[in-house]
Amino acid sequence: MGLRINDTIPNLHVETDQGSFDLHDWIGDSWAILFSHPKDFTPVCTTEFGAVAQLAAEWEKRGTKVIGLSVDDVEEHVVWKRDIEKFANATAGFPIIADKSLAVAKALDMLPADAYLPDGRTAADSASVRVVFIISPDKKLQLSMTYPMSVGRNFAEVLRALDALQTTYKTPIATPANWVQGQDVIVALSLDDAAAREKFGEIDVVLPYLRTTKSPK
């Protein structure tokens, strides 16, 4: 069974192009995004990792570390990063996990269904799908997205989702459809109107169950 929202991610020991470490130690007190891709030296993956590289300042602004994963080895990651940087005109400063054993991909359920059958599949005949995990500083999974190999991810949406998670983290609010940073948020149903006004000040009662307020600073 794969990870569920609010599960603590396993503290796996991983090998990357930037050295080996335990995931929990690498995350530390930061937010983190772990994203897998099928294979190095493939077209969609190169555009995706280029997008991640171009957003380096945005990840840093939000106190968020990013790390990639595929079933390729460290040496391939190192060489492939040159292509990523050439394509994106940006430094790919994030680590990429080398998961030749499939141990991490299996532990985090990052493989398509046919990769688990028959037993004995290896990196030579398997590829991880496009998964995004957003992890909070307490090492819990806050959001997951899974894409098929044919669909590249929209990292502007990943960034938007990160903003929403950080805005609502341990706060009784939620974000509406298509919300972007700075827009009004929804007051949680756990607060009555009086409690909401005491906590947030002015609220707008659109419907008895739909109340909005200014996004916290």
Across the chain, mean pLDDT equals 91
**Which pLDDT score, from 0 to 100, does residue 39 have?**
87
Q: What is the mean pLDDT of each run of 10 residues along the chain (217 residues)?
A: 88 97 98 92 93 98 96 94 98 95 86 58 58 97 91 95 97 97 97 96 96 93
| pLDDT at position 118 | 47
Domain 13-168 is classified in which CATH homologous superfamily?
Glutaredoxin (3.40.30.10)
Per-residue pLDDT at 130: 86
Q: What is the CA radius of gyration of the chain?
A: 19
198 is catalytic: no
Domain ranges for the chain: 13-168, 173-213
Of these residues, 45, 51, 90, 108, which one is catalytic?
A: 45
pTM for the structure as a whole: 0.91
Q: What is the pLDDT of residues 121-152, one digit of tens each?
A: 444 455 667 899 999 999 999 999 998 888 99
**pLDDT of the residue at 59:** 98
184 in Cβ contact with 212 (< 8 Å): yes
**How many angstroms separate the Cα of 45 from the Cα of each of 19, 70, 84, 151, 209?**
22, 10, 9, 10, 42
